[in-house]
Amino acid sequence: MTVVSSYVHGASAQALIGQTIGNYFDEVCARHSAREALVVTHQKVRLSYGELHDKANRLACGLMRLGLKRGERIGIWSQNNLEWVLTQFATAKAGLVMVNINPAYRRAELEYALNKVDCRALILAPVFKSSNYLEMLGDLAPELATQAPGPLRAARLPALQYVIRMGREKTPGMLNFDDMLTEPTAGELAALEKLGGELQFDDPINIQFTSGTTGAPKGATLSHHNVLNNGFFIGEAMRLTPEDRLCIPVPLYHCFGMVLGNLACVTHGSTMVYPAEGFDPLATLQAVAAERCTALHGVPTMFIAMLDHPQFADYDLSGLRTGIMAGSPCPVEVMKRVVDRMNMREVTIAYGMTETSPVSFQSSTDDPLDRRVSTVGRIQPHVEVKVVDGEGRIVPHGTPGELLTRGYSVMLGYWNDPERTAEAIDAAGWMHTGDMATIDAEGYCNIVGRIKDMIIRGGENIYPREVEEFLFRHPKVQDVQVVGLPDKKYGEELCAWIIPREGQRVTEAEIRSFCDGQIAHYKIPKYIRFVESFPMTVTGKVQKYLIRQQMKEQLALTEDRTA
């Protein structure tokens, strides 16, 4: 394929799946009934596809027994566990819209999310890390304490009627998750089957709140068609088979876990392995070795944490073959270490966003290594992408511009927010990603930064990732993030936050000396700080705006510019 302009489309002989998640799930579970579907190491759970299907049906019937009806919203606020994946498939079968609530949310964010989409039910874990979910919900809905389990009447959460807690302990006003798994009657199973024949694959099935640096979170609304097909083609790119076992340490509440993980596995009859409630490098290494995993997912910071763990060499990772590194730009040096030291010779890079279900580009297992370490691969099947300039015109290949995506994967819209939906998806159906990218003559895509992250210093456009990739080459640098800070003379100056390798001491002078003569003078950071960690989201994305904000406060910088 030779690309002249920066427009590519994923022509494919493999048809899209024209089914709902529930109907497709039924077929997969029947075909692979005896195969192992799920391993949850921290809960000591092992389920075959037949057993997973039975439990998902039980939960679907249990939710319908409460009176929850097609199209109504049900939230899940939990870490990775058996209950999460059962909820994912049970809600799809019952025609409910599952609302993924970030495990890091606190009271105000929870209240906003539940009320924004009018959740009728909420499934929650009791606690996770420093979050006491029962306590926070109790603060928002004190009425729970004096009500019997069942329909709730809470002043601050007017739509919420049912709260279902995980675990065996009883909490006033709440139902227990395990009680939802009782044996359904023949009539209930018949009603579930009838509903399965009525649901349509374009029905909304999932709402995920996208975090922004300003404004309230937006509820990206995804359909069966969106996520089922994306999960399938992601699995195809990794060449998953029923023999594969995928370790999933990334959070399920995010597309990385529930689509690139769960749906990629289920559409191929592969085994899902959850190593811990949340990411833990040692638990992940242990699970990969003990379960003989052939695939592993993670964001770059997760792979760095595993590679640099003092017990890394104690675990046999020879079974690994493939997986995905995604979620944020993948440093070339980290990618090389993953291939060499973790035996992930067929590791792939994926790029996308929640609003596109999420993956638009992915490398193939047989792409040349230099392509896999320097790009995010080529276009996914049945997806279109173009790169445009500031006036919306397609640019020549190799020219940076904003990446736009169109096709089956584009979300239905932001829930109950037509204005922000129209800002994101134009009249021709193109999703504006806000990412700066180039597409080369062979169709490989390189993400060079966010439009808002691009630094303009004295009229020169600087893409932070280019500088980050260069600094990664320094032997004492473990991780690095580059941001732009206000400057009265040049408009902006570069600031680098660097995490040194364990046991290494590095100075500003060393970093500047490393840059001199190797990169243009205007790309050398004016400000260099050595830190132990970066501000991160739960999914492992670095929050650059917080780095920028902290540095502006430290240096007493203002945004007014004279140049």
Query: Given the structure tokens 């695939």, which residue do they identify?
Result: 295
Give CA angle at 104 (99, 106), nearest 5°.
90
pLDDT digit string, tens, across residues 217-248: 899 999 999 999 999 999 999 999 999 999 99
Stretch 305-317: mean pLDDT, rounded? 97
The residue out of 177, 210, 243 marking a domain boundary is 210
Report residue 536 as tokens.
Answer: 């991160």
pLDDT of residue 214: 43
Tell me, what's the pLDDT at 560?
A: 45
Q: Does residue 311 form part of some domain? A: no
Which range of residues forms the domain containing residue 516? 455-555
Classify residue 255: in a domain, yes or no. Answer: no
Phi, psi dihedral angles at 80 (to 5 degrees)? -70, 125
pLDDT at 561 exceeding the cut of 60:
no
The residues near 268 (Cβ < 8 Å, ≥ 6 apart) are 232, 235, 240, 241, 242, 244
Contact yes or no for 378/363 (Cβ under 8 A): yes
Residue type, 191: A
Q: What are phi and psi of 328, to 5 degrees?
A: -160, 165
Portion of the chain with pLDDT greater than 70, in percent: 98
Number of domains in the chain: 2
Domain boundary residue, one of 180, 210, 240: 210
The mean pLDDT value of the chain amounts to 94
| Res 104: pLDDT | 84
pLDDT band at 211 (very low <50, low <70, confident <90, very high): low
Q: What gap in Å lies between CA 217 and CA 210, rounded to an integer?
A: 5
Query: Poorest-confidence range of 53-57, 143-147, 267-271, 451-455?
Result: 451-455
The pLDDT of 106-127, averaged and rounded, is: 95
The mean per-residue pLDDT over the stretch 300-312 comes to 94
Q: What is the rounded CA–CA span in Å between residue 459 and residue 536?
A: 30
Rounded Cα–Cα distance for residues 136 and 227 (Å)? 31
The first and second tokens of residue 209, run together, are: 């709140």
CATH no. for residue 487? 3.30.300.30
pLDDT at 372: 86
Asked if residue 103 belongs to a domain, the reply is: yes
Q: pTM for the whole thing?
A: 0.88
Task: List pLDDT tens digits, range 46-89.
Answer: 999 999 999 999 999 999 999 999 999 999 999 999 999 999 99
CATH number at residue 185: 3.40.50.12780
Strands lying side by side in the sheet with 383-388:
7-9, 383-388, 401-407, 431-439, 445-450
Calculated CA dihedral for residues 546, 220, 392, 351, nearest 10 degrees: 70
Among 2-6, 209-213, 372-376, where is mean pLDDT lowest? 209-213
- Decide: 217 and 207 in contact? Cβ < 8 Å: no
Residue 563 — very low, low, confident or very high, per pLDDT cuts 50/70/90? Answer: very low
Which of 210, 240, 274 marks a domain boundary? 210
pLDDT tens figures, 269-294: 999 999 999 999 999 999 999 999 99
d(CA 97, CA 549): 36
pLDDT of residue 213: 41
Residue 233 lies in a domain: no
The predicted model gives 359-388 an average pLDDT of 94
